[in-house]
A = this chain, B = another copy of it.
Amino acid sequence: MARVVVDVMLKPEILDPQGQAVQRALPRLGFEGIADVRQGKRFELEVEGPVDEAALARIHEMAETFLANTVIEDFTVKVDGEAR
């Protein structure tokens, strides 16, 4: 079985309160030098059968219609090699 990873991030122009909260906390914890933090979601999908173009196209569609709301989010799909 292969693993496909879908990363979903808020579009750059959309407010990311979570990322901001993390970034604001960092200096207090003694971590300097991080100019920006964005927080998103990572989906790890275990795919049965071959991860061919057709499968990736389907996962792409799934990401577009379900995993992400493209009004506010961008996503990327990538094959992660063999699942552990």
A interface residues with partner B (beta carbon < 8 Å):
1, 7, 9, 19, 22, 25-26, 29, 31, 33-49, 55, 58-59, 62, 65-67
Q: Are B7 and A33 in contact (CB under 8 A)?
A: no
Q: Are B66 and A43 in contact (CB under 8 A)?
A: no
Q: How many copies does the complex hold?
A: 2
* A35 touches which of B7, B41, B46 (Cβ 8 Å): B46
Q: Are A38 and B43 in contact (CB under 8 A)?
A: yes
Q: Answer whether A42 and B45 are a contact pair too, CB < 8 Å, given A26-B62, A35-B1, A66-B29.
A: no
16 additional A-B residue pairs with CB within 8 Å, beyond A1-B35, A33-B55, A37-B44: A7-B42, A9-B42, A19-B43, A19-B44, A25-B66, A26-B62, A26-B66, A31-B66, A33-B47, A33-B48, A34-B46, A35-B47, A36-B44, A36-B45, A37-B45, A40-B41
